[in-house]
Each structure stands twice: as C-alpha cells, then as structure tokens.
Chains A and B, each alone.
Chain A
Amino acid sequence: MTDISFSEFMAARWAPLYRTAYLLTGRREEAEDLLQSALARTCVRWDGIHDKRAADAYVRKAMLNQMSRQWRTRRREQPTDELPDVGHDGGIGLRAEHLDLWTEIRRLPPRMRATLVLRYVEDLSEADTAAELGCSVGSVKSQTHHALKRLRIALPELQLITRELS
C-alpha cells in the first residue's frame, strides 16, 4: 500500500470509511458530506502522507476534527430528537434490539456518540480515543459514562413501547 495512488485508496476505502462516518454522524447525508470533506483534505495532502497504511487513520482524524469544530460552533451540544433519516431499512442479521439501540445512540450528542464508536467499534483505548478527540482521558471516561447512563435510562421505555406496539 506504500505506492498506492489516492484514487486507488479512495476506491478501496470509500465504503468502510463511509460506514465509520455514518456511525459518527448518525445520518446518511451528513456522513457523505463529512467523508467527502475529509477525503478532499487528504487528497491535497496525499504526497505528504509517507506511510499510506496510516491513511485510514488520517481520514478518520480529519472527520473527527471537522465534527469537533461543528459541535463547538453549535454552542449547545444536545441530543437529536428528530430522526428523519433512518439510514437503513434493516438487513440480514440485524436484530430489532440492535435497531432500537442504534435509535438511542443516534440521539446522543455527537461527542458522546463519537466516543462510543472509537471505543467499541474502532477498539481504541481510552488514551487513544482521547488523542483522536483532542481531549483528556478523564473526558473520555466521563463521556462514556454519560452515554451509557443515557442509553440505560432510555431503553426501558423504548422496550415497553416496543412490547405495547407488538
């Protein structure tokens, strides 16, 4: 992968990076927008990335940096209540409880959601997650704690609604 061109990199990595962007944003359009911006930044700096094996991490970092700027600009980081974009209509092996949990994860503030994605999907340590998000390890612990707490509060009600509807 050391001599790979940017076009080859983008063709090979568009799908997995899009999936990461989708988990980070929770919305298909935002995911595409975020990934395109990050890839454009990567494209103009491609020659400066000596170890092309690290390009995935470079793009991911660019996405997180951009998200970080957005959530700071928005002043108040709040959960999203309106979820007009389902993102997918289920799929083979996708259980109802996964969708329920995802619905609640999408409602989390973006930084909390990003922390969960980095910790549990990208399998980063707390220290590496802190480095990626540009915050302290204590902040990662706090964000994770609050995310789990919110999900635990939200899900009993959701399960009740699911049972009532069924």
Chain B
Amino acid sequence: MTTNEIREALVAIERSVDVPPVDRVAFQARVRAARRRRTTGRALVAVGAAAAVVTAGVVGNAVVDEPQSAPLAEAPGEVTAGSVPDTVFFTVDHRLTALDPRGVVHDLGQVSEGVIGWTTDHVYALDDESHVTVRRADPPFAAAASPVPGPVQSVALSGDGRYLAWHDLDKQVHRYDLDAGREDVTFAATADSYVAGVSEGGVLVASRSGLSLRVAAGGVAVPLEGDSDGWASDVAGRLVTVDESPEQSRLYDLSSVSARLLETFAGSAALGPRAERVAVIVPESRDRARVEVWDGGTLMPATGLGDVVPTAVRWADETTLLVQGGRGLYSCDIDLRCGKLPVDGEPDLGE
C-alpha cells in the first residue's frame, strides 16, 4: 500500500459522500449557544480589566483614602508546586520521560506510544513499533528483558504490578506473572478484542461481543450500558470500573458468577491499584471538569488544581494520584491536595 493509494481512497470517499441539507433550526440553536459563551468570556475579561485598573490605582497612590481589597493570594486559579514520593513516568512529545522525587526530569531516550505502567523496579512502555519495552525504574533507567516476544495490539499492567497481559497479532491473549516469571493464562480472542486491564482475577477483554473478565474461554460478563464499548475500563482484584460516557461510569464487583453494581459515578473513573479508591473526572460544563476520589463510599474533591481542566488521571500508587490537564501534570497526595509538577512540554499519562 502506498500513500498515493490512501490519498486516492480518501479523495474518492470525499467526493462520493452524500451531503445532508443544513438543519437550520439546530444551527440557530448552536449560534445562540456560541453567542452566550462568547458573552460570558467577555464579561470575565471585563472584570479582570477592571481589577487591573483598581490595582494600578493603588500602586500609583502612596496615600489612599479608599478601603483596599484583601490580597488575591488565595485566588481560585492559583496552583502550588507539587512533588511525587516515588519516580513517575509519562511521555512528552512521544518520548518516554520520568520525574523523580527530587523534581528532576529524565528523558529515557526512547520514542514511545505510551506508558503501560510501572512498579518499584521496572517501567513498561510501548515503543513506536508497538513492542513492549522494559526499563529499570531508577537512573540510568537501563533496558531490561521484555517478556513479550512481538508487537501487541493492546496491553495492560495490573495495578499491583504483578501481571502483564497483552493481545498479540495472532489474536491470542496472554497473561504473564511477572513475580513467577512465566505465562499463566493464554486464550484465543477475536481480532477486535482489546485488553482493557488485568488482575489476579483475570484479563479484562472488550470486544464486539461485550466486556468480560476472563481466565480462559469463559469469564464473568460486565454489563455495558449506553454507547460504551468497554475500552475505557479498569480492573483491580475483582472490581471493575466501566466508563459509559464522559458523564457516567459504574463500579462492579465480579466476585460471584455475575457482576454486581456497587456504585455509579458522574464522570469517567480510574480504579486505584488496590481497588480501595476510585478517581473520577466529573465534567461540569463543556470546558470545565473537576476531580473527585471515591473512598469507602464517600466522594472527596481534589483541591489545588485551580482552573485546570483535568483530561486524564492515573494512580501512581494507592495514595498518589496524577492528573493531566491544561498542558501540565499535577500530583495529588492522600488528602487530595494537588500541586503542579515541574514538567515542561505537554506530558501525556497514556491513560
């Protein structure tokens, strides 16, 4: 196949597609909404400009009779510096990157599609040919042997770092016990299957026929509601989270023969490594969202993210949550106090 063939195909499709008439009623509604958003934006700018004028007046007059406002040090948009207790991994511009607890950023010298996960000893990532690479998790991040022999279609590391599971190009799903150093589960899957997660309970596989936690041909089915395809799912132990839409996800217990619904969240969810906490990105409007963490049945909001719009979260461990948003990376401690990590560029958690 050549790029010319792709060009010809795209142009041919472009020319052949039927064009619907303009839905003018829907379009007018969108124009009204766009005008409202634009007006709101302008109002905020005007308030900011007024505040700037007031500040300039105060600075320009040594003696002022007017009462002064309180300083704005605790403005909602302010974000403090964050840190991480252990080295964390992500990509910046498709390069595998680490941030250590001293705040030093390391370019590991590897082009990467994304970070699969890491343990205290190793970091697992995909290179630009969809091979699983393994490196030591501390400087100089030396390369180590990978248990995966060839390119993969999808891959996941368990939250406890014990299992690695992948779907190879021959449509076989494998689970590898990293502690024992051997493959302990293998089964055939369909070409469209996707390994969404892995735990000691099995491999969480999404496909056209549904989502299930499998150890062989059989498995426990996980309900898929709405338009969910099961791709954005997590498993830890026998608990599974499923994103049904950006506005809803569900937590299931798969301890018995059928999935039992435990909780419904108003956003997309990320299950903690020990299945004790769930981080949720809760959309508030088209351009705003917040992070909450479910812990023993209670939802607690993350603080210190200012005006950052979170787009992805990942648990570094059960007590440290990483948040990606606004072209930056943030860490939140066990009390959900978050701070910005000293990473330049546009870090990508790969979640």
Contact = CB atoms under 8 A, between A and B. Distances in A.
Given A73-B246, A94-B12, A88 B232 contact: no
Given A14-B22, A32-B23, A88-B17, A101 B5 contact: yes
Interface residues of B, number: 54
Nearest to B95: A138
A58 B72 CA distance: 37
Interface string A19-32: 11011000010001
Contacts of A92: 16
A145 B128 contact: yes
Contacts of B1: 101, 148, 151-152, 155
Interface string A129-151: 00000001011001001101101
Nearest to A91: B16
A28 to B, nearest CB: 7
Contacts of A91: 15-16
B320 interface: no
Interface in B94-110: 94
A74 B232 contact: yes
Contacts of B231: 76, 78
A72 interface: yes
Interface string B267-286: 01000000000000101000
Contacts of B13: 22-23, 87-88, 94, 98-99, 102
Given A142-B128, A146-B113, A41 B34 contact: yes
Contacts of A18: 17, 19-20
Chain A interface residue number, banded: 35 or more
Interface in B306-339: 311-312
Given A76-B231, A90-B16, A121 B11 contact: yes
A157 B153 CA distance: 15
B69 interface: no
A124 interface: no
B85 to A, nearest CB: 24
Contacts of A43: 31, 34
B194 interface: yes
Nearest to B39: A44
A88 B18 CA distance: 6
B260 interface: no
B191 interface: yes
Question: What 5 A-B pairs have minimum CB-CB distances, sorted nearest first?
Answer: A91-B16, A40-B30, A120-B7, A101-B9, A98-B9
11 contacts: A10-B22, A37-B30, A37-B34, A44-B35, A69-B287, A73-B246, A75-B243, A75-B351, A102-B9, A120-B10, A157-B191
Interface of B: 1, 3, 5-20, 22-23, 26-27, 30-31, 33-35, 38, 93-94, 111, 113, 128-130, 169, 191-192, 194, 207-208, 229, 231-232, 243, 246, 268, 281, 283, 287, 289, 311-312, 351
